[in-house]
Structures are given as structure tokens and as C-alpha cells.
């Protein structure tokens, strides 16, 4: 069969990539173990009904008067000023930071797997197109 770009390259590439070993995506949020994902931003602290959450900036749905707003602003400033976590604890709203590959060791194996697939493809394509090489 005459080698063309379509038959010699695209088809093997697509065939290899759709193998079950290669078809698992590693979007960190999709493959992360439960302990890696902290979904409850209110974890670790409670609120009375109607009280705003100073740490996540989630406010109560009740309408506020002008005096209440000023009071809450002052309380919020005070809460942020004294906001502290134990060493090693994640801050609120930082899940995106820990969803990067450097912070997700559970996808490193998948990275190595994909690297080997791409390397095998590169070697395969190099030798598959070698015979028809023109000088």
C-alpha cells in the first residue's frame, strides 16, 4: 500500500490514542481522590442563621440596613485581620492552586504513561516513514 500522511501517520496515531490505556483523561478534578478535593468551604467553622461568612465572602440573603452594613464591614475587617490557619491547612478558595499537576502526585504516573505513548508513536512514525524517504 502506498504510504500517505493519512494512512501512515494519522490512523496509527488515532488508533494508539484511543486504546483504553491512553483514553483516561487526567483533568485533576476528575481523577483526584476525595481527600485531595476540599469542596466544603464552610468546613471547620459554623455560622448562626443569617450571619455572613467572613472567610468565604458568602453573605446572608437577608436585606441589611445601613448601620448593619457598616457593622458587618467592621467585623469583616476584624475577621480578616485575625484570620489564621494551622500550618499545612489550605486556605479557602485555593482548590485551583492545588489542582495543578505539580501538586497532584496521583497524576504523575499518567504523565509518564502518556510520555511513553508519545515516545513510542514518535519512534513508530520515524521507522514507518523511513522506507519512502527521499534524499
Partner 1 sequence: MKTVFTFSLMTLRMLARRRTLWGILIVIFLALVGISSVPSFDVGNQGRFILDFGLFGIEVGALLLALGLASNLYPRDRETRSLMPLLAVPLARWQYLLGRFFGAALVQAAALIVTCLGLMLILLFHELPIPADLLPATLLIIVEGWFLLSTVFFFSFIASPPLNWPLTTMLFVVSQMSVSEFVGIMPSAPGFMRFVRLLLPHADVFHIKDPIAHGFEIEPVYFIIAIFYGLCYAAFMLSLALALFRGRDIK
Where do contacts with partner 1 occur on this chain (CB under 8 A)?
Answer: 3-5, 8-9, 13, 17-18, 22-23, 25-30, 97, 100-103, 105, 108, 111-112, 114-116, 118-119, 121-123, 125-126, 128-130, 132-135
Of residues 59 and 114, the one with the C-beta less far from partner 1: 114
- What's the rounded Cα separation, in Å, for the pair 11 and 5? 9
Of residues 4 and 69, the one with the C-beta less far from partner 1: 4
C-alpha R_g of the chain: 27
Of residues 78 and 116, the one with the C-beta less far from partner 1: 116
Q: Nearest 5 degrees, angle CA 16-CA 18-CA 24?
A: 115
- What's the rounded Cα separation, in Å, for the pair 90 and 118? 35
Smallest gap from Cβ 40 to partner 1, in A, equals 21
- What's the rounded Cα separation, in Å, for the pair 80 and 84? 8
Alpha-helix residue ranges (DSSP H) falling in 1-135? 5, 11-17, 28-31, 66-81, 95-98, 108-128
Of residues 29 and 70, the one with the C-beta less far from partner 1: 29
Smallest gap from Cβ 50 to partner 1, in A, equals 33
Smallest gap from Cβ 12 to partner 1, in A, equals 10
Amino acid at each position: 500500500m502506498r504510504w500517505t500522511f493519512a494512512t501512515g501517520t494519522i490512523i496509527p496515531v488515532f488508533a494508539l490514542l484511543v486504546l483504553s490505556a491512553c483514553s483516561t483523561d487526567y483533568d485533576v478534578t476528575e481523577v483526584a481522590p476525595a481527600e485531595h478535593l476540599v469542596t466544603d468551604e464552610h468546613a471547620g467553622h459554623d455560622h448562626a442563621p443569617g450571619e455572613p461568612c467572613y472567610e468565604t465572602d458568602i453573605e446572608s440573603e437577608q436585606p441589611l440596613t445601613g448601620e448593619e452594613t457598616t457593622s458587618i464591614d467592621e467585623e469583616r475587617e476584624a475577621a480578616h485581620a485575625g484570620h489564621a490557619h494551622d500550618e499545612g491547612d489550605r486556605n479557602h478558595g485555593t482548590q485551583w492552586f492545588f489542582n495543578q499537576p505539580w501538586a497532584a502526585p496521583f497524576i504523575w504516573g499518567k504523565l509518564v504513561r502518556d510520555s511513553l505513548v508519545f515516545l513510542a508513536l514518535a519512534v513508530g512514525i520515524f521507522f514507518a516513514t523511513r522506507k519512502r524517504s527521499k534524499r
